[in-house]
Amino acid sequence: MSSDEHYKEIIRREMAKLKTPVKLKVFTSQRIEADGSKIRACMDCSQFMTLLRIYEENSNGMLTIEEMSIDDNPEFVKQYDISRVPTILFIDNNGREVIRYLAAPQGAEIQPFIQSIFTFAGAPNYYEATIKQNLNRIEPSTIKIMMTETCPYCPQVITIANMFALASEGKIRTVIIDINHNQDIGQYYDAAGVPYTIINDQKTITGMVGPNEILRSLIGGNIRVSY
Amino acid sequence: MFPTDSLGFDPEKIYDIIVLGGGPTAIGCAIYAARFAMDVLIVGKTFGGLIATTHIIENYPGITSVSGPGFMEMFREHMQSLNISYISDEIGSIEQKEDYFVLQSFFQQFKARTICIATGSERRKLGIPGEEEFTGRGVSYCATCDGPFFKDKVVCVIGGSDSATKEALFLTQNAKKVYIIYRGEEIRAEPINKKRVYDNEKIEIIYKTNITGIKGDNSVRAVIFDNGKEFEVDGVFIEIGSNPNSDLAKRIGVNTNEKGEIIINRKSETNIPGIFAAGDVADAPFKQAITGVAEGVIAAYSAFDYLKEMEIEY
């Protein structure tokens, strides 16, 4: 089995287990051809949507990928500050953006993406109780994670950060950035190693980082827990 | 891990064995424990461990050649086929009760009749000026992760081990020049990798040299040799061995040697009944994935035996 087929098989196997409906928004750019038909104008968008349709088609109708053109939806573009395409958004029931992907969920990145979909759909979140206990100590925060497809530790850091965001009742937002496809962002933050975690555009952590360190960085002190 | 993996975790259950770690040793132990019909859970900070950062593995019998991430993907598939749950967390303390242990993290409390410590090791640091300052800005401990940032750049690898030579070989895929800087007189790589290094025109070895500092501005610009000479490079990959992750073991009274490695016997037993150890964290002189897995497997069998002797139903 080729590597691509292997990963497709994982997507099929895991997405078939999704039992609750969930919707993701994907922003692309489209242009109108002379005959009136629309085609995707951004370079990566078609490949990106083909990949996301694999997730959708194997979810027994539970996952809906809503593709929105930035050209036709200026109000959403403004509301969610969409500055590049393609962009995937996880938006909660209160209209709050929880997770933003500026990265294609392929290869090793399939795992955190699927786990995020399941947790977004209501599956148990291992970190939820502790995040909620410390919620009043967490300021509204954005965790940016720079990753590459070949980075072995990126999926774990992304999983932890996304689980934190999904448990945080809108206080934490994550942005997952593939710096091979968004080199300007990597250069802006002087990233020369991955995973590269940036908390509130202030604290940066290069390399593998566990849940304790991320939570400590968010609350600026010791973690409080009661069992 | 996938969502369905962590769904299998039960906070109320007293597990027959909790395996601490995330590398091949930990997973090997868990696979055998599951096949002995033991309730098993893996709790680890880093799935894959250090070997996940290796760009190529060619010495694991039965697998001709595989990347580090690919190798761990195979372990994950095997684990999933046995419904073994993996939790990404760090255990801070272990308390011994009458016939089980309580393991505590910031996020959860776990209970287990036996424990296998397979927490591996972490990369050793040089401890020189500039190292910490430029980590992530030219100083790296993972060529697989960060090699692509150095396309057409000049980099150096510090160290002379087999791992160091493999890092250097991987870096030649992107860098225009790779220097191996080693304090010894001859690199200690496996002969096959030594030949590859000698045959690679992009690699040059600088022997009998230590690094005393790393300099730069926004990123690394040079390393300083012990003769005071500044040597211009864009990246520094440090591969000088590793230290065992045995702090937790030490805190709970597990005996370690002068290197901090957990002392185990041929049954992977430690000095504390019910606590086993295996892999890079233990005191075997030759540390490989295959030897770690073997120790982990023996730990699972010894834990199985221990439960039988204690007449604990599993």
- A152-190 pLDDT, tens digit each: 899 999 999 999 999 999 999 999 999 988 999 998 998
Task: Exactly one of B29, B142, B162, B280 is catalytic; name it.
Answer: B142
Residues B104 and B247 occupy one common structural domain: yes
Residues B223 and B174 occupy one common structural domain: yes
For residue A195, cis peptide bond before it (omega within 30 degrees of 0) = yes
User: Which amino acid, residue B122?
Assistant: E
Residues B168 and B232 occupy one common structural domain: yes
Residue B131 belongs to a domain: no
Q: Report the interhelical angle of B191-199 vs B162-171 (nearest 10°).
A: 30
Mutate one of A206, A213, A216, A222 to test the B interface: name it (highest B CB count within 10 A).
Answer: A206
- H-type alpha helices, A58-171: 74-79, 110-120, 128-133, 154-167
Residues B108 and B246 occupy one common structural domain: yes
Active site residue B145: yes
Residue in chain B lying closest to A131 (CA)? B107
User: Given CB atoms, is A153 within the 8 Å cutoff of chain B?
Assistant: yes
Assess whether pLDDT exceeds 80 at residue A21: yes
Contact between B106 and A223 under an 8 Å Cβ cutoff? The reply is yes
- pLDDT value of residue B224: 97
Residue B314 belongs to a domain: no
- pLDDT value of residue A157: 95
Mutate one of B104, B146, B171 to test the A interface: name it (highest A CB count within 10 A).
Answer: B146
Residue B134 belongs to a domain: no
Does the beta-carbon distance from A204 to B219 stay under 8 Å? Answer: no
Work out the number of other CB atoms within 10 angstroms of the CB of residue B155. Answer: 27
Does the beta-carbon distance from A193 to B52 stay under 8 Å? Answer: no
Min Cα separation B78/chain A (Å):
13
Tell me which residues of chain A, numbers 94 to 113, contact chain B at a CB-CB cutoff of 8 Å.
108, 111
Work out the number of other CB atoms within 10 angstroms of the CB of residue B290. Answer: 14
Residues B149 and B292 occupy one common structural domain: no
Q: Which of B2, B105, B138 sits opposite A114 (nearest CB)?
A: B2
Residues of A in contact with B138 (CB under 8 A): 192
Residue B59 belongs to a domain: yes
β-strands B93-96, B101-104 pairing: antiparallel
Tokens of B131: 């190292």
β-strands B177-181, B203-206 pairing: parallel
Residues B225 and B253 occupy one common structural domain: no
Min Cα separation A16/chain B (Å):
11
User: Given CB atoms, is B268 within the 8 Å cutoff of chain A?
Assistant: no
- pLDDT value of residue B3: 45
What single DSSP character describes residue A122? T
Number of domains composing chain B = 2
Does the beta-carbon distance from B145 to A124 stay under 8 Å? Answer: no
- pLDDT value of residue B181: 98
Better-predicted residue by pLDDT, A198 or A150: A198
Residue where a domain stops, chosen among B238, B257, B275 = B238
Residue B132 belongs to a domain: no
Assess whether pLDDT exceeds 60 at residue A227: no
Tokens of B285: 């002189």
Mutate one of A10, A11, A151 to test the B interface: name it (highest B CB count within 10 A).
Answer: A151
Residues B9 and B119 occupy one common structural domain: yes
Rounded Cα distance between B145 and B138, Å, is 12
| Partner residues linked to B156 by β-bridges | B179, B236
Residue B291 sits in a domain whose CATH number is 3.50.50.60
Residue in chain A lying closest to B74 (CA)? A6
Residues of A in contact with B144 (CB under 8 A): 150-152
Does the beta-carbon distance from A208 to B107 stay under 8 Å? Answer: no
Residues B184 and B147 occupy one common structural domain: yes
Residue B130 belongs to a domain: no
Min Cα separation A31/chain B (Å):
34
Residue where a domain stops, chosen among B215, B238, B261 = B238
Residues B62 and B89 occupy one common structural domain: yes
DSSP string for residues in B111-148: EEEEEEE---EEE-----TTTTTTBTTTEES-HHHHGG
CA B179 remoteness from chain centre: 25
Min Cα separation B12/chain A (Å):
12
Contact between A154 and A148 under an 8 Å Cβ cutoff? The reply is yes
User: Given CB atoms, is A227 within the 8 Å cutoff of chain B?
Assistant: yes
Residue B192 belongs to a domain: yes
Residue B129 belongs to a domain: no
What chain A holds in terms of domains, given with CATH numbers, is 3-219 (3.40.30.80)
Does the beta-carbon distance from B142 to A206 stay under 8 Å? Answer: no
Mean pLDDT confidence for A7-34: 91
User: Given CB atoms, is B241 within the 8 Å cutoff of chain A?
Assistant: no
Does the beta-carbon distance from B136 to A111 stay under 8 Å? Answer: no
Tell me which residues of chain A, numbers 176 to 195, contact chain B at a CB-CB cutoff of 8 Å.
180, 190-195
Residues B12 and B116 occupy one common structural domain: yes
Residues B57 and B154 occupy one common structural domain: no
Residues B80 and B184 occupy one common structural domain: no
Residues of A in contact with B10 (CB under 8 A): none
Does the beta-carbon distance from A208 to B45 stay under 8 Å? Answer: yes
pLDDT tens for chain B, residues 1 to 314: 454 455 567 888 999 999 999 999 999 999 999 999 999 999 999 899 999 988 889 999 999 999 998 999 899 989 989 999 999 999 999 999 999 999 999 999 999 999 999 999 999 999 999 999 999 889 999 998 889 889 999 999 999 999 999 999 999 999 999 999 999 999 999 999 999 999 999 999 999 999 999 999 989 999 999 999 999 999 999 999 999 999 999 999 999 999 999 999 999 999 999 999 999 999 999 999 999 999 999 999 999 999 999 876 65
Q: What are A190-213's pLDDT values in tens digits?
A: 888 899 999 999 989 988 999 999
Residue B34: which domain range? 3-123+242-309
Residue where a domain stops, chosen among B220, B238, B256 = B238
